[in-house]
């Protein structure tokens, strides 16, 4: 009894005393101040030095709200970083507007380093930008930890960037130009250039990769003068900057800003832009964020409401030229791909609500434009596109989301409009620049023990194929988080190991299956000419007698050509800016 009491007294007083910190967990940054990290382990048990929630910018609050990011001021001594910083302020889409989380003080990044590497060389650096439609998400360990990727020799960097109105509000004026979230990402890349050598990383071997809006971000960085020279390779999962959801006409974006200003009872920027910004900066972040869902046209659509724009000329612009006037960047190796049923992220979520199901049936012509993000065009253009898309996908089917055939056709329309067509357009742009010889396309077709479609429909027994985000389950330890109760199968483990090997090879050599390396996988060939070569990863039906991973050709050629026609129509159509 006395022994137990002594132990309890000791444990209760431990926080009073400083314990010894291993020199391996200390890193001195370029400005002279340092970090104290913590010890983690990878999936296979390899040691990891983790430096979580490292401040890379000053908190974007007060006069820094709706402003370009400011690098973090140097500090003296060692800062203990352990992963307790907040998300960037947002509404979480999964909770249908019922959950506002995070804070404005959120510009932190995480660096994960192997404790012992197999090579004496500097390590390649992989920088991940999270998805979430530029409106939600985070780069924290619980979502995008190093467990799988650091089974190999690489350094992983993740982080937060401003979201929603705080990341992308613009008034189409130099004092509020927009794209702050993308500028945050670019500052992260600059921080890496200045500091990654202290962690044993190679600043000349940086691969940026991201999923959904994170993938869109990656392709934007290939265009931006702010990011030029800060990375050497790119990987875009399920998204590029050449989609309808990926960019907004700045005049439309400024109109949205005026609507928000009116809701907050601030003066219009036309009468006094400085007074308007001062008013916006005086409002609480929660009050501004409370109007998040007031601007949507149907449910949460268009789902990327505050988004990237071509900025008016200003000092520190991320993007101030029209996309058609910019090449796709330096001659860098690039990987990109999609899952086999991307659009389930929309169609499965509709099944949660009888009201939404009825809207699809009775208000088809009203809900389709915001769902596919062509609602910013004139009414005539919207009506024309709705007729064309309806004829191509659903024809005379009754628009019943509970009908499996209609459900799949609706899903295909979303898959193509949101993800597959933008992927095709990005490959086209690479081919026009003769960069297709180092462009690699994948098609993720592995249905694991858990899928994001289960969360979207709130039905663990639903089987709607391989959803948007499902490929992330093979690169990050998402199953270990709080969202899923799944358990990796033998097939899951095989796909995970293969993807980690391919992705780290690409980050190291610029080729996922480099010549001369002992890679027990099929050679991954570049895309070539249309219809493209692609690597199929996974077999949806695991009882099929087909390879789990193999090269294939001809990915949805009719659907891709259809969306090329849609883009031609939109290129000749005016945007509604009234």
Name the residues annotated as catalytic: 212, 342
**Structure-block tokens of residue 167:** 């990341």
| Residue 325 buriedness (CB in 10 A; 0-12 / 13-18 / 19+) | exposed
Cα 503 from Cα 524, distance rounded (Å): 12
182: helix, strand or coil: helix
Whole-number Å distance between alpha carbons of 239 and 68: 25
Q: Which of 28, 207, 51 is nearest to 115 (CA)?
A: 51
Distance of alpha carbon 183 from alpha carbon 185, whole angstroms: 5
Provide, for the chain, the percentages of residues in helix, strand and coil under a 3-state DSSP scheme, each rounded to the nearest 5: 40, 15, 45
Q: What tokens appear for 62 in the block?
A: 């007060």
CA distance 420 to 239: 8
Q: Is 401 helix (H, G, I), strand (E, B) or coil?
A: coil
- The answer to whether the beta carbons of residues 70 and 107 sit under 8 Å apart is no
Decide if 438 contacts 333 (C-beta within 8 A): yes
CA 202 from chain centre, in angstroms, equals 24
- Cβ neighbourhood burial of 101 (10 Å; 0-12, 13-18, 19+): middle
Q: Are 184 and 167 in contact (CB under 8 A)?
A: yes
User: Angle CA(387)–CA(389)–CA(390) in degrees, nearest 5?
Assistant: 65
Beta-carbon-side half-sphere exposure of residue 344 (alpha carbons within 13 Å) = 23
Q: From CA 540, how far away is CA 399, in angstroms rounded?
A: 27
Tokens 């302020």 -> residue: 89
First to last CA, the chain: 79
């Amino acid at each position: 009894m006395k022994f137990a009491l002594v132990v309890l007294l000791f444990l209760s007083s431990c926080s009073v005393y400083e314990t010894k910190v291993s020199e391996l967990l200390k890193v001195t940054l370029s400005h002279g101040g340092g970090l104290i990290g913590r010890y983690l382990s990878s999936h296979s048990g390899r040691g990891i030095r983790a430096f979580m929630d490292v401040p890379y910018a000053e908190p974007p609050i007060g006069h820094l709200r709706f402003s370009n990011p400011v690098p973090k001021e140097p500090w003296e001594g060692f800062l203990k970083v352990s992963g307790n910083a907040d998300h960037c302020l947002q509404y979480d889409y999964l909770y249908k507007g019922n959950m506002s989380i995070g804070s404005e003080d959120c510009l932190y990044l995480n660096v994960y380093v192997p404790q012992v590497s197999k090579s004496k060389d500097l390590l390649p650096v992989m920088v991940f930008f999270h998805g979430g439609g530029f409106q939600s998400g985070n780069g924290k360990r619980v979502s995008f930890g190093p467990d799988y990727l650091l089974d190999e020799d690489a350094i992983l960097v993740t982080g937060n960037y401003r979201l929603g109105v705080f990341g992308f509000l613009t008034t189409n004026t130099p004092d509020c130009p927009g794209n702050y979230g993308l500028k945050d990402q670019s500052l992260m890349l600059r921080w890496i250039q200045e500091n990654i050598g202290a962690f044993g990383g190679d600043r000349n071997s940086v691969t940026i990769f991201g999923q959904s809006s994170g993938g869109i971000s990656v392709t934007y960085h290939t265009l931006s003068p702010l990011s030029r020279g800060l990375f050497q390779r790119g990987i875009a999962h399920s998204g590029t900057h050449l989609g309808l959801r990926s960019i907004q006409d700045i005049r439309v974006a400024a109109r949205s800003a005026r609507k928000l200003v009116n809701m907050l009872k601030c003066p219009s920027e036309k009468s006094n832009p400085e007074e308007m910004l001062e008013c916006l900066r005086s409002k609480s972040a929660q009050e501004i964020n409370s109007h998040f869902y007031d601007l949507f046209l149907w449910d949460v659509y268009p789902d990327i409401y505050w988004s990237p724009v071509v900025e008016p000329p200003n000092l520190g612009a991320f993007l101030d030229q029209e996309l058609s006037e910019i090449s796709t960047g330096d001659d860098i190796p690039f990987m990109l791909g999609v899952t086999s049923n991307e659009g389930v992220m929309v169609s499965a979520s509709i099944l949660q609500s009888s009201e939404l199901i009825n809207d699809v049936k009775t208000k088809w012509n009203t809900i389709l434009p915001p769902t596919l993000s062509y609602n910013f065009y004139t009414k005539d253009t919207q009506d024309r596109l709705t007729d064309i898309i309806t004829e191509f996908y659903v024809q005379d089917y009754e628009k019943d989301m509970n009908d499996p055939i209609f459900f799949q056709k609706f899903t295909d329309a979303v898959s193509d409009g949101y993800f597959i067509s933008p992927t095709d357009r990005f490959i086209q742009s690479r081919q026009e620049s003769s960069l297709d010889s180092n462009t690699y396309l994948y098609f993720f077709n592995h249905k694991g023990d858990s899928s994001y479609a289960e969360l979207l429909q709130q039905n663990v027994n639903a089987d709607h194929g391989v959803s948007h985000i499902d490929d992330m389950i093979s690169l990050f330890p998402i199953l270990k988080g709080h969202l899923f109760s799944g358990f990796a199968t033998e097939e899951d483990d095989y796909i995970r190991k293969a993807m980690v090997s391919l992705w780290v090879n690409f980050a190291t050599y610029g080729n996922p299956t480099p010549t001369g390396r002992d890679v027990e996988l099929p050679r991954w060939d570049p895309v070539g000419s249309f219809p493209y070569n692609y690597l199929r990863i996974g077999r949806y039906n695991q009882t099929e007698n087909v390879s789990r991973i193999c090269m294939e050709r001809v990915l949805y050629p009719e659907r891709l050509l259809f969306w090329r026609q849609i883009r031609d129509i939109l290129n000749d159509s005016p945007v509604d800016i009234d």
